[in-house]
Amino acid sequence: MTYDPGPRDPHFADEALAIATTERETVFSDEPLACPSCWVELTGTDAFETYRVCPGCHRHFPIPGRERLRLLVDEASFRETNAALVSVDPLVFRDLLPVPDRLVEAAERFGSGPAGGVSEAVLTGTGSIGGREVVMVVLDHAFLGASIGPVAGEKILLAMDAAAARRVPLVALCTAGGARTQEGLLGLIQAPKIAAAAARLHRAGVPFVSVLAHPATGAVWAALANQADIILAEPGARIGPGGQHVSDAAATSEELLARGMLDGIIDRTRLRETLATLVCLFADRGEYRPAAVADSSSGASGFLTGEPLAARRRVAGWQEAGLARHPERPRASDYLARLVTEWIELHGDRAGDDDRAIIAGLGRIAGIPAAIIAGERGRPAGAGAFRKVDRVLRLAGHLELPVISLVDTPGLIAGPGSDPAQTAAALAAVTGLTGLLPVPVVSVVIGEAAGAAGVALGIGDRILMQEHAVYTVGGAGGTDRRAAEPLAASRTLT
């Protein structure tokens, strides 16, 4: 078998399209099959035969909707819903064929075989992932480009309503384009209806996760995928509001992650594990787990509040500041690695930036699901960092997850190139939002909490401080050494 290695987007290769549109049992021939991107042999490899992923370059080949379901849901758990919905073609629109005939042709072309079996662009139903119930929406790009017509839109709406009524997470696997032009205005108006249904999900506090695979463009990206609480994508997926052939209206998943528009890029081989972790976190939220009460007299609790202040050796303010900033003092990322299990990092502010001064995500602390916000020492935080905090705080309130804030930020708020006005506005939004959250907020000063940034991240129902951490109105880091020591003492840093 020969391939043309010329410069082109590998997603548009004819070989990839053949894999998507050929029945699973006839994909392979007697000739070796090689990846058109890196030329690694694919035949016989588990990564390709199971996941349609190249073991060499990790290129993700298209797979049918039912095959995606098989890879994600627990065995024999999926039950399809609303499979009998059909279009009555009220507009009597014709291209080369009437709409009903076009749909029948698509069903016959892509719906046969064990990997097919679809009669519309959308497959919906209930199932379980990791033993937890979910509602699934799967768009199959092989069926008329997964364009959204009245039937596909209605199936998505009914699935969203079912998730809201049953209060179980909605997982949408999106590989699609825009509205179905053959069905005219009826196809076009599906986008606002889907967006409104997503808003009802948010209001009901039901988790919504979308997974984007190549291509995910047009109305499906804007009205469905981009409405999710958590947005994941496969590597190399082409995503955006325009069509896949409009270069300035779409970008790769890697580009969107860097711009803060995605929460993560997940390899198809790890997607089931990631979704199972998220679904279990959602299912266990709000569970009461009584903690063992430690004997404070023995100091087993780890808190120093039981010990008289006079019995402890006091350290001068400037020395405390030095200890708080010590280069060998653990950073927020160190605590996350040691204290948090089932960690899923959430990237970006959904407004064009992913400021790494703030690390945020979902995980478990002592088995309890929580939203965690951590300031990473040494990275000045700009507007994007505080917009990320604002977004995760709102997500925690929406999903009823307690918030843990690990504070380690100097008095200097914005880094070089940051817009002070935008940073101040984002900081003000975080400061006002924290006090309104309907969930517990625990702030822990693990190093230095200084200035307005320290206050914004340090607000909470409970505020804890590590020994030799400092909490001050403004940092002394920008002060001359000779003036810093008396200044630190006068501010009573600890």
Average pLDDT over residues 377-406: 94
Length of the chain counted residue by residue: 494
Amino acid at 389: V
- Whether 109 has a pLDDT exceeding 60, the answer reads no
**Which run of H or of E encompasses 485?**
helix 481-490
Cα–Cα nearest to 65, from 156, 176, 153: 176
Phi first, then psi: what are they for 360, rounded to 5°? -135, 155
CA distance linking residue 47 with residue 54, whole number of Å: 6
Per-residue confidence band for 75, with pLDDT thresholds at 50, 70 and 90:
very high
CA distance linking residue 9 with residue 215, whole number of Å: 12
User: Residue 199's CB: how many other CB atoms inside 10 A?
Assistant: 12
CA distance linking residue 160 with residue 167, whole number of Å: 10
User: Residue 147's CB: how many other CB atoms inside 10 A?
Assistant: 23
CA distance linking residue 194 with residue 212, whole number of Å: 17
Instruction: Give me the pLDDT at residue 128, please.
Output: 98
Structure tokens at 9: 């987007």
Domains within the chain, CATH numbers bracketed = 1-62 (no CATH), 63-282 (3.90.226.10), 296-490 (3.90.226.10)
**Start-end of H helices in 189-316:** 190-204, 218-219, 253-258, 268-284
Instruction: Give me the pLDDT at residue 125, please.
Output: 96
Per-residue confidence band for 179, with pLDDT thresholds at 50, 70 and 90:
low
Tens of pLDDT, residue by residue over 408-423, are 987 655 666 678 889 8
Radius of gyration of the chain (CA): 26
CA distance linking residue 235 with residue 413, whole number of Å: 34
Instruction: Give me the pLDDT at residue 255, please.
Output: 95
Tens of pLDDT, residue by residue over 183-216, are 557 777 888 999 999 999 999 999 999 999 988 8
Instruction: Give me the pLDDT at residue 14, please.
Output: 38
| Contacts within 8 Å (CB) and 24+ apart, 194-197 | 194/148, 194/153, 194/156, 194/157, 194/160, 194/223, 194/224, 194/227, 195/222, 195/223, 195/224, 195/227, 197/156, 197/157, 197/160, 197/161
Q: Is 131 left (phi over 0), alpha (psi -120 to 50) or beta?
A: left
Instruction: Give me the pLDDT at residue 32, please.
Output: 76
CA distance linking residue 71 with residue 74, whole number of Å: 8
Q: How far is CA 165 from CA 105, 204, 206, 254, 260, in A?
A: 35, 9, 9, 35, 31
DSSP letter, residue 475:
-
Q: Which of 148-152, 180-184, 234-238 has the highest mean pLDDT?
A: 234-238
Average pLDDT over residues 340-351: 96
CA distance linking residue 53 with residue 68, whole number of Å: 13
User: Residue 421's CB: how many other CB atoms inside 10 A?
Assistant: 10
CA distance linking residue 424 with residue 452, whole number of Å: 9
Phi first, then psi: what are they for 265, rounded to 5°? -110, 120
Tens of pLDDT, residue by residue over 441-471, are 999 999 988 888 888 999 999 999 998 888 8
CA distance linking residue 332 with residue 343, whole number of Å: 14
Structure tokens at 289: 């787990």
Contact 355, 349 (CB under 8 A): yes
